[in-house]
Amino acid sequence: MLTKEQNERLTRVGPGTPMGNLMRRYWQPFLPVAMLDENPVQAVRLLGEDLVCFRDRSGTIGLVGDRCAHRRVQMVFGIPEEHGLRCPYHGWCYDETGTCTETPLESPHSRLAEHVSIGGYPVQEMGGLLFAYLGPRPEPILPPWDILVVPGALRQVGYTVIPCNWLQCQENASDPAHSVYLHGHFFQYLLERDGLLDERAPDRKTHRAFASISQSAGYSHVISKVDEHGVQKAMVFTPERGAPEYKEHWHSYMVFPHMVRVGGGGIRYELQIRVPMDDTHTYHLVYDIYVAPDGIALDVPETVPCYEVPTLDDSGAPVLDFVLAQDLMAWSAQGDIVDRRRETLAASDEAIIRYRSVLEEQLQRVEAGLDPMNVFRDPQAVGDLITLSPPITATNSDVSQPWIGANRQLFHKGYWRDEADRYGPLIEEVRELMRRSAEV
């Protein structure tokens, strides 16, 4: 349980707030690059600020204030020029830094533009995502996390706006026990209710619902540990609780401050990022890559495609019949900001308590003028790739035994319907890759 003040310290992300100051020490992903192919001017809300991202005709990308300095027209309606973005109302033009470069209806001798700026932030691209840095200069290195930069992989990225605070999304990454019910019993109930259980789960071991339910057998408690990049957690199984032997099952890796490297491995690897738009909205990114075993060629698109992960169907009813949808529901069903004064934590929340303590430690580092965890400044120390766990290897995993994530290697056997990937534009290519890999 947290006090009101402690809860606000961890959840409020606007300019000048403690968590806002921490988040501004990191490069924040805010848009798939492919969305600029659909429209070169996009509205962005990030850490409580309204901004506009644009790509001008020369290919330069900028992230600037959302209002023209002249008469406060929204720049999302701006015109991309050869260099910069022009306001549609009176033609004032701004470059990628937000600096005004032209005021065309003023006197040709006017120097007004030299004194006008709508502000802007540095932008970098990595792995098909655009990242912005909103913090104090000099900006740190954009970390080359393995999943974003490993070559030769198929990639696609899904996005969703969730009407809740970022922290309740990220605390999920420190909660392995929820899988038994949310992705197990609840998933089974949904399929039974809709008459889809036999069709969707013909194998009562491999299907995610039953693999998750099986994790309760012999379960004893949760353990966690902090390492150089974040928090790892595990469910512990013991003979005293009915397990055949003592076992630690390590789940997805919480990468500080708001990413999670989802468990699995083999062909499909996933990174989820919970980006705070403001105090009550989160921009959720699900970033998947698919690697091929030796001997299987991949035709990798030049552009990483993106897609929206829906939360409602055409009738307005919640979509719940895939794993990420169940998480999205659980996070938003806690309310826009959880009142943690009223929660009742249990022993299974051990890793959540540890994560909150890490958050507080890193807040204090920033308040002391120090860099927090995962802020990198030495290019030689970082190198070209930062390896997370499990390492990315182009091999087919052993799916002969039931385990959480086995279904993610078997999309060609129907399990593609259980993940957000089913909405991705590359799903047919991924299913074919898994089919071919199973024959190797």
Quick: pLDDT tens for 177-216. 999 999 999 999 999 999 999 999 998 989 999 999 999 9
| Nearest residue to 266 via CA among 392, 140, 132 | 392
Segment 252-274 mean pLDDT:
92
CB-side exposure of 187: number of CA atoms within 13 Å? Answer: 27
Strands 154-162 vs 306-308: parallel, antiparallel or unpaired:
parallel
The ranges of the chain annotated as CATH 2.102.10.10 are 27-133
Count of CB atoms situated within 10 Å of the CB of 313: 11
- Indicate the Cα dihedral angle 276, 164, 341, 9, nearest 10°: 20
Instruction: Check pLDDT > 50 for residue 295.
Output: yes
What does the pLDDT read at residue 50?
A: 98
The ranges of the chain annotated as CATH 3.90.380 are 146-438
Instruction: Check pLDDT > 80 for residue 272.
Output: yes
Cα 113 to chain centroid distance, Å, stands at 38
Q: Which CATH class is domain 146-438?
A: alpha beta
| Nearest residue to 41 via CA among 75, 6, 17 | 75
Q: How many helices (H) and strands (E) does the chain have?
A: 13, 20
* Residue 275 pLDDT class (50, 70, 90 cuts): very high
pLDDT in tens, 87-135: 999 999 999 999 999 999 999 999 999 999 999 999 999 999 999 999 9
What does the pLDDT read at residue 263?
A: 72
What does the pLDDT read at residue 406?
A: 83
Mean pLDDT, the chain, whole residue set: 95
pTM for this entry: 0.96
| Amino acid residing at 345 | L
Segment 330-348 mean pLDDT:
97
pLDDT in tens, 141-181: 999 999 999 999 999 999 999 999 999 999 999 999 999 99
Segment 416-432 mean pLDDT:
97
Task: Burial-class residue 433 by CB neighbours within 10 Å (0-12, 13-18, 19+).
Answer: buried
- Residue pair 277/283 in contact (Cβ under 8 Å)? The answer is yes
The fraction of the chain above a pLDDT of 90, given in percent, is: 92
pLDDT in tens, 216-236: 999 999 999 999 999 999 999
* Cross-strand partners of 86: 79, 93
Q: Which CATH class is domain 27-133?
A: mainly beta
pLDDT in tens, 5-35: 999 999 999 999 999 999 999 999 999 999 9
**Residue position matching structure tokens 């790509």:** 55
* Residue 398 pLDDT class (50, 70, 90 cuts): very low
- Residue pair 413/435 in contact (Cβ under 8 Å)? The answer is no
The whole-angstrom separation of Cα 81 and Cα 96 is: 11
| Nearest residue to 249 via CA among 215, 213, 206, 217 | 215
Instruction: Check pLDDT > 70 for residue 430.
Output: yes
Segment 332-360 mean pLDDT:
97
pLDDT in tens, 56-96: 999 999 999 999 999 999 999 999 999 999 999 999 999 99
What does the pLDDT read at residue 376?
A: 98
**Residue position matching structure tokens 């929820």:** 178
Buried b / exposed e along 33-69 (16+ C-beta atoms within 10 A)? bbebeeebbbebbbbbbbbbbbbbeeeebbbbbbbbb
The whole-angstrom separation of Cα 310 and Cα 424 is: 11
